[in-house]
Amino acid sequence: MASVVNVSKDNFHEEVLACDRPVLVDFYADGCGPCEFIAPILDELAGEHGDQLKFTKFYVSMDEVLNNSNEVVEKYEVMGFPTLLIFKGGKVAQSHLGAMNREELLAFVEAALETA
């Protein structure tokens, strides 16, 4: 059973961009209610679809947001939380800003797998 992998700016290239399968990145922040809402759903989906899609989460501190001090957050223009990006071949293939319920997240994941 696959689990959600923590990534940071230090291992982003290795864990996300260089991955040989599609990767979902959940950019989240502390105190973000919508982020907390989707976290257990992403854990479930990682268990169900982790063999086809790598599930990761990327913590962003408010200091990084206010000071524009995280080059990954800047590069991918993460403006709110949660931001979900699906990477294929090192490039963003799909994106979504905000929480989704389980059915919506499942559809988001399945759409990525259909075009993989």
Residue from 5, 32, 38, 73 carrying the catalytic annotation: 32
* 19 given a catalytic annotation: no
Q: Is 35 assigned a catalytic role?
A: yes
Residue whose pair of structure tokens reads 């992403």 in the numeric block: 42
Tell me the sheet residues that pair with 88: 91
Angle at 19 (CA atoms; ends 46, 101), nearest 5 degrees: 30
Ramachandran area for residue 32 (φ above 0: left; ψ -120 to 50: alpha; else beta): beta
Among the listed residues 35, 38, 53, 105, the single catalytic one is 35
- Active-site positions? 32, 35
